[in-house]
Structure 1
Amino acid sequence: MIDKEFTAEERKATLGLAGIFSLRMLGLFLVLPVLSIYAHRFPEATSFLVGLAIGSYGLTQAIFQIPYGLLSDKIGRIPIIIFSTIIFIFGSGLAAYGSYQEDIWILIIGRFLQGMGAVSSVVIALIADLTREKIRTRAMATIGASIGMAFAFGMVLGPWLASHFGLGGVFIFTAILAIISFPYIIWGLPRPEKIVHHDDAEFTGSYLGTVLKDSNLLKMDFGMFTLHMGLTAVFTSAPLILRQFMEVEDLWKVYLVMFLVGLTFMVPTTIIAEKKGLIKEVKILGVIILIISFGLFMEFENQFVPAIIAIIVYFTGFMILEPIMPSLMSRYAKPQVKGTASGVFNTSQFLGAFIGGAVGGYLLKYGFDAVFMFIGAVTFVWLLMIFTMKMPEKLDKAN
């Protein structure tokens, strides 16, 4: 991703911000594969409250990411990143305390505060300040790739940490990751010569109406909402299904295979989508794979090997879709509204994460099938929407 066209300062800024952002996201991803297992043991825990704990960070991320970006235009990027890091560390510490006390309410509050530590919009704005327009997309792609790696490490490392140090230990490790980034944020991050609002990278209120009137962008927002709603809903149930057959310390093996298989499919399908102009076909394939996985979960939730196959199939569909969704959204958006479209798109993602956890947890009291039936139905609606979308001109020409 980082090629010779980057200057030394651009390279330093891109890698530094990618590191900060990926450490933050790693902290959030670490608990995803284990939180459902451990939180259900708390005395006052219900399935709904556990689901709320899983997805609650998404609500505050959705609420704060755009205001943080706009505020950073006025008072600077670094102060907002420092403030959000402090909030994230405090939230992680509170979640750890709630875990050790087995208090589901304190855990939920800690997760809400973790979401308040959202820095995505500010990181994107700072990247825009510190890079030239011609390499900005590649800089942001580098950050996107680092998040993907953070997700993979979180899936594998989270169960190992939880089995040795408990759920509280996972949150303490999350806080340590944020603390490690703190000195670099204060002294190492390059400072822009001046702060400029970039319409192509940041949310601009005057363009909101234009974005919300674009049916293709709205369908992309619904798709991103659905994809991440499914992710948190799956992880309210899938860890509990796997826990029937194996110990927590062995879960990382399943998640490692899951990631490797997903990556094996992600790379060629992304190349086919981008280079061959078949992004619509690849997107349809990914969504169909998700729907198949939900059916497999419903059919084989009580069988060991088929249940593992179901989660591998699910993650394969997720990995096919995750990298092409932002790329396709940016192609629908006109250059001047791209930052606003991205802000709405990312907000939809975070809201999806919240709704998936809350609704998935609520439905779990009716059994695993209810969870997978719900997300399967919403994903099917998404599939129908894709068929009604006209591909952007660049992709039409590629065909």
Structure 2
Amino acid sequence: MRSKLTIVALMLVTTFIGFGIIIPVLPQAVSDLDPERANLHTGFMLALYSLVSFLLSPVWGRLSGRVGRRPVIMIGVLGFCASFLLFGLAVDNLALMYVSRLLGGLFSGAVTSCIVAYVADITTNEQRTKGMAVVGMSIGLGFTFGPFVGGELSQISLAAPFYAAAGLALLTFIAGWLKLAESLTPERRAAIAVQPRTSRWTAFQGSLKNLYVLAFFVTFSLAILEATMQLYGMHRFDATPRNVGYMFFFCGLVGALIQGGVVRRRVKQGQETAYIAAGLVISAAGFFLLLTAHSVVAATVYLCIFGIGNSLIRPCVTSLITQKTTVEQGVASGLSSSMDSLGRIVGPLLGSVLLGAYAQLPFLVSGALSLAALGLLARFRSADRAQAKAEA
């Protein structure tokens, strides 16, 4: 199991480095072409990516159960490569930027949802939280180095980060092709193939409904942050893409350390909800503190506080869903990825509108949502206990 986890962790790191590269660069690239509507274009591009991912993640999840996780993951990584290459060629063409984001969304679900299902395949319930912590840590490391690399390469040109992301995705594809083993046996795939087609929403049942909505809230607030931080920083303290790259670098580094050092080592089965609650409170504190930021240094510190909270929440929620679900892991992971995408559809759009109305509104709303999610967590715990008693 350890060698398989190492391989998928490396794939996630390199994939999300490519994804994170665009965070500090996209707002600047759009601003150069249409400065008056830069916030709207940024929001629409991020939302388009996530809308396509939302629609197709369950399709990829079902397909991976029938043909295997490995080929679907490989297709997704190669598609990522093509989307980044197109964006690099399109930095002076707004329409092609939109096409590139559409392609990225098309293939993103094939990577994220199928790797989560892959990890669920190779871990037991007792190992699940540790496995998902590795997933979260890998994504966190990708987001740590991605914005940093994007900010640095933007000094060469705005296209350079996207060419680098395409090259990295291609290397990831080659490494995965050579090293990634299939997690589903032919017998298991055959058994899944004869099962009736299952809607993603069959996983949205019982106590887990609350966790899926909580996951949406968490991603929604994160997407608002990603869509508005660069423009907010430009407005408040003249932040450059390089500044924002460093800010997300430190945020991601702290998050990866928390997931690798706290979640993976400390969180035991049954303790997940306590860590989720702590994460929600810490995330809310980070959002509210960002309202007071008047320098890059202060904003970086507050962003790191948010990162600590977020890194406690995500792997624990994913672990609980994969432990408690009664449907096939590909379907459950597909719905998780869809809720993630749904948050990334609505978040950038609303964030752009809120930013246009009042610069601090995105962070006020995100902090309030983090606290509101505590109610969903309480409902999950209550429903889960009642369900356990009924089954006893």
Report the TM-score range of the alignment, normalised by the length of the smaller protein.
Answer: 0.7 to 0.9
Deviations 1:230-284 (CA, angstroms, capped at 9, x unpaired): 1121122222333424543344443343344445555665369723954333222
Counterpart among 170, 180, 195 of residue 179 in structure 1: 170
Distance 1:17 1:343 in 2: 17
Q: Tell me, yes or no, if the aligned pair for 1:48 and 1:360 is still in contact at 8 Å.
A: no
The residue that corresponds to 2:228 in the other structure is 237
Q: TM-score, normalised by structure 1?
A: 0.79
Structure 1 unaligned residues grouped into runs of 5+ = 3-10
Counterpart among 251, 255, 264 of residue 248 in structure 2: 255
Distance 1:173 1:317 in 2: 30
Counterpart among 150, 159, 162 of residue 154 in structure 2: 162
Deviations 1:52-104 (CA, angstroms, capped at 9, x unpaired): 223432222222222123234555555544543443222212211221x1x33
The residue that corresponds to 1:358 in the other structure is 349
Identity %: 20
**Root mean square deviation of aligned Cα:** 3.6
Counterpart among 290, 306, 310 of residue 283 in structure 2: 290
Counterpart among 197, 202, 213 of residue 205 in structure 2: 213
Give the C-alpha shift of residue 364 in structure 1. 1.9
Q: Tell me, yes or no, if the aligned pair for 2:280 and 2:374 is still in contact at 8 Å.
A: yes
2:330 paired with 1:344: no
The residue that corresponds to 2:316 in the other structure is 324
Distance 2:102 2:283 in 1: 28
Give the C-alpha shift of residue 319 in structure 1. 1.8
Distance 2:335 2:209 in 1: 9
Amino acid at match of 2:32: R
Amino acid at match of 2:222: L
Q: Tell me, yes or no, if the aligned pair for 2:30 and 2:42 is still in contact at 8 Å.
A: yes
Q: Tell me, yes or no, if the aligned pair for 1:333 and 1:341 is still in contact at 8 Å.
A: yes
Distance 1:198 1:24, change over 3 A: farther
Deviations 1:335-392 (CA, angstroms, capped at 9, x unpaired): x555433321221012212221222123221132222233234333312222333265
Distance 2:209 2:199 in 1: 14
Distance 1:185 1:274 in 2: 30
Aligned residues: 377
Counterpart among 13, 18, 34 of residue 22 in structure 1: 13
Distance 1:272 1:146 in 2: 15
The residue that corresponds to 1:196 in the other structure is 188
Distance 1:30 1:195 in 2: 40
Amino acid at match of 1:178: A
The residue that corresponds to 1:5 in the other structure is none
Counterpart among 262, 268, 282 of residue 275 in structure 1: 268
The residue that corresponds to 2:96 in the other structure is 106
Distance 1:172 1:107 in 2: 14
The residue that corresponds to 2:363 in the other structure is 372
Amino acid at match of 1:161: L
Distance 1:205 1:31, change over 3 A: same
Distance 2:276 2:8 in 1: 29
Distance 1:282 1:146, change over 3 A: closer
The residue that corresponds to 1:56 in the other structure is 48
Structure 2 unaligned residues grouped into runs of 5+ = none
Amino acid at match of 1:91: S
Counterpart among 304, 312, 322 of residue 304 in structure 2: 312
Distance 1:136 1:204 in 2: 29
Distance 2:119 2:160 in 1: 33
Give the C-alpha shift of residue 210 in structure 1. 4.8
Distance 1:281 1:385 in 2: 13
Q: Tell me, yes or no, if the aligned pair for 1:52 and 1:357 is still in contact at 8 Å.
A: yes
Residue range with higher mean Cα deviation, 216-225 or 204-213: 204-213
